[in-house]
Structure 1
Amino acid sequence: MTPEDDLSHLGVPVRPMTRVHGGFANRMHRLDTDQGSFAVKELTAVGRRHVGDVFRFERAAFAAGIPMPEPVSASQHTLVHRWVDGEKVPEAPVPAAYAFEIGEILARIHALDVSWPLGSAEGPAPRDWPELAERAAATGQPWADELGSHVATFLAITHFVDTCERPGPVVLTHRDIQPWNLLARNGRPVLLDWELSGMLDLSGELGSTALSIAKGPGFDSIEPAIFRSVLDGYVAGGGALPPAGPSWFVFMIGGWLGFTRWNILRCLAGVEESTGPELTLSQESARNGIRGLPDMFGRLPELEALLA
């Protein structure tokens, strides 16, 4: 941990703090003290941007009964939550009842009355894919040939992300409900990792969430009934569905695009940084994005059919 962070308010440690491996963006530790067990997360530069606002949003969600770890404290470098035990959610279609409850939870989150600072809008997607492909080839990256063969597709994806019309409304929401950010406790959802919270077009949040828990690692095992269960739960929770269209999937594509580029840059740097995932995990994430994004983009008509 960084020396700037004083964790004494969490109590007297009963054993050394241990690293919990597997995070795609941040580094997590478990700290057991005489006051309980805590998840201590080291934040990357991205996670630090709105840490105070995220913490305030989390506190409001927890107070409203959203199933999530209790937020304990936040600083410039760390977020601390009560440790929650539960089963990991595999990257596979979840049970229909679980998906339905996720939809209900989203409706409750979107109904919270929490202010959010202005200036949260994202700028245009970077268009430096030709340069990245050249650098990947020059540095001998294992996925350099694949990236080079997909440059035109990545530029087309970038254009789609920048130009796709979002119908609204815009809501304050979690923005990253994926299997790896969920636990199952007694078969019911527990929502983790709120660092990417912010304003988002409702269709993008619903599409990303429903698709992520209705499929396996690729796009050949999507369960339409599970996708619809999320939307049914959202309506049952008091939410209203936005119009159908490609906007339901543009946020997921754009987020994956940015995440892939971030990991490519880490790989091109070729050094282990003090925060974020290990270099080997960045290599895996870069390769998965280079292979998976063109596949997802090519399947947009199939994905839109889920909304019929």
Structure 2
Amino acid sequence: MREPFTSRRADRADDPRPRRVRQRLYRLDTDQGSFAVKELNLVDRRWTYPVEDVFRFERAAFAAGIPMPEPISASHDTLVHRWVEGEKVPEAPVSSAYAFEIGEILGRIHALDAPWTHVSTEDPTSPDWPELAARAAATAQPWADELASHVETFLAIADFVDTCERPGPVVLTHRDIQPWNLLARKGRPVVLDWELSGMLDLSSELGSTALSLAKGPDFDDIKPAIFRSVLNGYVAGGGVLPPSGPSWFVFMIGGWLGHTRWNILRCLAGVEASTGPDLALSHESVRNGVRGLPDMFCRLPELEALLG
């Protein structure tokens, strides 16, 4: 008799890149097919996870033909989707055709009529960067000098995140279409990991998505044609582009700022936490943020020029 299921850790379980709170992902093979079972890390989550809203949104997107794993079930700590084979998307500029199709997918997602009951609240961006730099120096953190040299820039970034005008409209969307949340199946996109779904200013969603697909790990090799392909696809998918401006990049900058600060606090604690990234990965995330965020912020005029 065939065993009812076998379970093994999936190849794409813990993304080694220090960007996210780690989740555990397993492949479950049954006589009903193969499934991806994800155990959510709720201890380190810095936001409320509206599981019922997200699951309804996923079901609506799948029913509308969005290329994604079929959502099977969801609870507060476990998600189950049908397993999808595909190739990982590297952190490098994608093809123009792939970028165009991502834009079309976003246009179709934003046209969905899915209910969303969760009301999120955003705390003001913390201005405690001088205090963090002082604590880093006092505890001899390996990145303390770099942080100290950029304190004024981090204060300016925090002020930008708090005061940047968002022109709207606000849409229900994925909020995290990045290379590490995509697969390529026969060269075409499959959108994974919908847990961050929610309401977001349209310009922020488009800017974050288009920029992530048009560049590599840093900002030295941005492909404007790929950036524009995402936007052209969005229009082809029925979307209307919002006004140009810095709001296209504020969500990406704000998310990176919060992630960097969270990892700084983990490093300042100086102990190996039982959940989330290990201390070495937190240090790497801090170094990446301390170097990359000022660079991105200084390039805002260059990034805005991508909007044409």
Q: For residues 43 and 54 of structure 1, what CA distance do their matches in structure 2 show? A: 16
Query: What's the CA shift for 1:47?
Result: 6.0
Question: Residue 55 of structure 1 corresponds to which residue in structure 2?
Answer: 55
**Structure 1 residue aligned with 2:35:** 37
Distance (whole Å) between structure 2 residues aligned to residue 139 and residue 269 of structure 1 = 10
Cα distance between partner residues in 1 of 2:270 and 2:87: 34
Give me the whole-angstrom Cα distance separating, in 1, the residues matched to 2:7 and 2:104.
39
Structure 1, residues 110-146: CA drift from partner, whole Å, max 9, x if none? Answer: 0111122253142211111112212222232221111
Distance 1:15 1:251 in 2: 37
Q: What is the alpha-carbon root mean square deviation over aligned residues?
A: 1.8
Q: Is the partner of 1:171 in helix, strand or coil? A: strand
Q: In the alignment, residue 150 of structure 2 is paired with which amino acid?
A: H
1:125 & 1:108 partners in 2: Cα distance?
A: 32
User: Which stretch shifts more, 61-70 or 198-207?
Assistant: 61-70
Query: Equivalent residue for 1:14?
Result: 6
- Residues 31 and 39, structure 1, Cα contact 8 Å, conserved in 2: yes
Matching residue of 2:262 = 262
Is 1:13–1:31's contact at 8 Å kept on the other side of the alignment? no
1:306: Cα distance to partner?
Answer: 0.6
One-letter amino acid of the counterpart of residue 304, structure 1:
E
Deviation string for 1:66-95 (max 9, x for gaps)? 111122222222222222221111111100
Counterpart position of 1:298: 298
Alignment of 1:100-111 (within 5 A): 100-111=100-111
Match of 1:94 in 2: 94
Q: Percent identity?
A: 72
Cα distance in structure 2, aligned partners of 1:189 and 1:12: 31
Q: Please report how far the alpha carbon of residue 46 of structure 1 lies from its aligned counterpart in structure 2 after TM superposition.
A: 3.4
- 1:100-139 aligned within 5 A: 100-139=100-139
CA separation in 1, counterparts of 2:57 and 2:277? 25
Say whether the 8 Å CA contact 2:210–2:230 is kept in structure 1. yes
TM value normalised by structure 1? 0.91
One-letter identity of the residue aligned with 2:15? G
Give 1:52 shift. Answer: 2.3
Deviates more, 1:16-25 or 1:137-146: 16-25
State the secondary structure of the residue aligned to 2:171: strand
- In the alignment, the residues of structure 1 paired with residue 275 and residue 266 of structure 2 have an alpha-carbon distance, to the nearest angstrom, of 11
How many Å separate the matches in 1 of 2:266 and 2:51? Answer: 23
1:218 aligns with 2:211: no
| Aligned CA distance change for structure 1 residues 140 and 56 (closer, same or farther; 3 Å) | farther
Matched residue SS, 1:277: coil
1:144 match: 144
Indicate the residue corresponding to 1:182 in structure 2: 182
Question: What is the rounded CA distance, in whole Å, between the counterparts of 2:279 and 2:23 in structure 1?
Answer: 13
Could you give the per-residue CA deviations for residues 35-78 of structure 1, whole angstroms, max 9, x where no partner exists? 42323232333365322221221121111111111222222222
CA–CA separation in structure 2 for the residues paired with 1:79 and 1:275:
19
TM-score of the pair, normalised by structure 2 = 0.91
CA contact (8 A) 2:39 2:79 kept: yes
Q: Which one-letter code corresponds to 2:37 in the other structure?
A: A
Gaps of 5+ in 1: 1-10
Q: Aligned equivalents of 1:219 and 1:134: distance in 2?
A: 29
Q: Which amino acid aligns with 1:206?
A: L
Q: Is the 8 A contact 2:14 2:22 kept in 1?
A: no
- What SS is found at the alignment partner of 2:73? strand
Give distance in 1, aligned partners of 2:176 and 2:157: 20
- 1:80 is paired with a residue whose SS is strand
Deviations 1:170-198 (A, max 9, x none): 00111111111111111011111111111
| Corresponding residue of 2:24 | 28
Matches within 5 A, 1:72-83: 72-83=72-83
Which one-letter code corresponds to 1:157 in the other structure?
A: I
Amino acid in the other structure paired with 2:278: E
C-alpha distance in 2 between matches for 1:287 and 1:276: 17
Render the CA deviation track for 1:133-167: whole Å, top value 9, x for unaligned: 12222232221111111111000000001111111
Shift of 1:272: 3.5
Q: Distance in 2 between matches of 1:107 and 1:248?
A: 16
**Match of residue 6 from structure 1:** none
Are residues 47 and 18 of structure 1, via their aligned partners in 2, closer, same or farther at CA, if it must alter by over 3 Å?
Answer: farther
Cα distance in 1 for partners of 2:225, 2:250 equals 21
Structure 2 SS opposite 1:14? strand
